Amino acid sequence: MLKILFAPLQGYTTGIYRKAHAEIFGGVDAYYAPFLRIENGKPREKDLRDLENAHAECSGNADSKCAENAKGNGASYKVVPQIIANSINEFQALTDALLQKGFTEIDFNMGCPFPMQVNRHRGAGLLNDTQTVQAIMDEIKKFSSAANETASVKFSVKMRLGQETPDEAFALLPILNDTPLAHITLHPRLGKQQYKGALDFSSFERFYSECKHPLVYNGDITSVSQIHEMERRYPKLAGIMIGRGLLARPSLAAEYKQTSHLNSATTSQDFLGKILQMHQIIFENACHTYQGDSQILSHIQSFWEYLEPNIPKKTFKKIKKAGKLNEYIEAISMLQTECKASN
Ligand SMILES: Cc1cc2nc3c(=O)[nH]c(=O)nc-3n(C[C@H](O)[C@H](O)[C@H](O)COP(=O)(O)O)c2cc1C
């Protein structure tokens, strides 16, 4: 059975979301947190606070292993933080901040296509710079040297084929192959494609055969049958990372693992009932964590975006348009009534 990793999605898979997902749906082997970045010369406080949610449920911080495992309803789930950096200095500052928090596994982002990051030479903007990648990989090597007391820290890389051309990934591959990485996750698109357009499976296959690390596939997976098909086509694959497919169908990983009673034949009411349970946890947590209607709403409204096809049109509009918390609560109770009425 393949490992299923929840992809990091800025603005969606927050600490509150991850916890609620683990509690209600689960089936995910690890949740990758959205990237931590440098802002005004230091690791961004807001991102660090969000990661603290991963600790909040831990009983005692003495055990560093605890830091990578949060608990949802008693069941522990794994959270891996991710960093995005354009230089060895940024890499070191971000890594230090996470090590201080007790994390023992870190993912390095070389795939983000957002112009704000690419123009700053981060994410996919780093893929054509073998020199900087080499310097960062040399830094990762230091963590695995026997003399280093943080030798237990593991690094993985999440990347695309390139910003402009797949040649970029193949120029980097010997450097990556020569670095002790836990795995590489590859999204077989170019940065300039952002999240749309054709996936380049022929480059993926070449990367799959030349990569010496466990390889995780990422891109456009939305069904259990697609996961089985990937398993069949690529028997050496170490896992599948899923983003938007899990936002749209949070039961997908559990369906694949067969740990959920939900499956492709599940009625929409049954599915919506679970979604409402997950929402309740997020809503309560958001109200507890944030202040003021707009802060709470901006956190909670994104939860519904990818779920639109499952929700009556009029109710979805009401949820999205709510500008005040009481309007939002009204829209949700409308959805609850609709869900009950169709049962
Ligand atoms: C809104 C949004 C935010 C994202 N944020 C991150 C991020 O913080 N770190 C990252 O590595 N990838 C990020 N991604 C990319 C996803 O992790 C994933 O690679 C991409 O969505 C393709 O996988 P999917 O087709 O399964 O969604 C983001 C994607 C979207 C659409």
Residues 337-341 have a mean pLDDT of 86
Question: 178-211, pLDDT tens digit by residue?
Answer: 999 999 999 999 999 999 999 999 999 999 999 9
The more confidently predicted of residues 299 and 123 is: 123
- Provide the pLDDT for residue 60: 33
Q: Is the pLDDT reported for residue 280 higher than 70?
A: yes
- Provide the pLDDT for residue 143: 87
The response to whether residue 244 sits with its C-beta less than 6 Å from ligand 1 reads yes
And the tokens for 8? 């990091």
Using pLDDT thresholds of 50, 70 and 90, give the confidence band for residue 54. low
The response to whether residue 243 sits with its C-beta less than 6 Å from ligand 1 reads yes
Percent above pLDDT 90 for the chain: 83
Q: Is the pLDDT reported for residue 67 higher than 50?
A: no
Q: What is the crossing angle of helices 293-305 and 268-289, to 10°? A: 150
The atom of ligand 1 lying closest to the CA of 123 is: 11
Q: Is the pLDDT reported for residue 17 higher than 70?
A: yes
List the residue whose alpha carbon is closest to atom 12 of ligand 1. Answer: 8
- Provide the pLDDT for residue 104: 93
Residues 42-60 have a mean pLDDT of 73
Residues 99-121 have a mean pLDDT of 96
CATH class of the domain at 3-257: alpha beta
Which candidate, 33, 60, 316, places its Cα nearest to that of 156?
33
| Mean pLDDT score across all residues of the chain | 91
Using pLDDT thresholds of 50, 70 and 90, give the confidence band for residue 266. low
Task: Kindly report the backbone phi and psi dihedral angles of residue 185, in degrees, each rounded to the nearest multiple of 5, phi listed first.
Answer: -105, 130
Q: Is the pLDDT reported for residue 264 higher than 90?
A: no
And the tokens for 149? 């007391």
Using pLDDT thresholds of 50, 70 and 90, give the confidence band for residue 148. low
For 132-164, b/e burial (b = at least 16 CB within 10 A) is bbbebbeebeebbeeeeeeeebbbbbbbbbbbe
Residues 65-73 have a mean pLDDT of 50
Residues 208-235 have a mean pLDDT of 97
Q: Is the pLDDT reported for residue 137 higher than 90?
A: yes
Which of 37, 195, 306 best tests ligand 1's pocket when mutated (most atoms within 8 Å of CB)? 195
Q: Is the pLDDT reported for residue 275 higher than 90?
A: yes
List the residue whose alpha carbon is closest to atom 14 of ligand 1. Answer: 9
Strands 75-83 and 69-72: antiparallel
Q: What is the crossing angle of helices 45-56 and 15-24, to 10°? A: 30
And the tokens for 13? 């898979």
- Provide the pLDDT for residue 58: 38
Q: Is the pLDDT reported for residue 103 higher than 90?
A: yes
Q: Is the pLDDT reported for residue 99 higher than 50?
A: yes
61 Cα to the center of ligand 1, angstroms: 30
- Provide the pLDDT for residue 261: 72
> Per-domain residue ranges for the chain?
3-257, 268-341
Using pLDDT thresholds of 50, 70 and 90, give the confidence band for residue 343. low
The response to whether residue 81 sits with its C-beta less than 6 Å from ligand 1 reads no
Residues 45-61 have a mean pLDDT of 67
List alpha helices for the chain, DSSP H.
Answer: 15-24, 45-56, 88-100, 115-118, 130-144, 167-177, 201-210, 224-233, 244-248, 252-257, 268-289, 293-305, 313-321, 325-341
Using pLDDT thresholds of 50, 70 and 90, give the confidence band for residue 325. very high
Q: Is the pLDDT reported for residue 66 higher than 60?
A: no
- Provide the pLDDT for residue 146: 58
The atom of ligand 1 lying closest to the CA of 221 is: 26
Residues 19-27 have a mean pLDDT of 95
Q: Is the pLDDT reported for residue 113 higher than 90?
A: yes
List the residue whose alpha carbon is closest to atom 23 of ligand 1. Answer: 219
9 Cα to the center of ligand 1, angstroms: 5
312 Cα to the center of ligand 1, angstroms: 27
The neighbouring-strand residues paired with 78 are 69
Residues 243-263 have a mean pLDDT of 90
The response to whether residue 338 sits with its C-beta less than 6 Å from ligand 1 reads no
Residues 254-282 have a mean pLDDT of 84
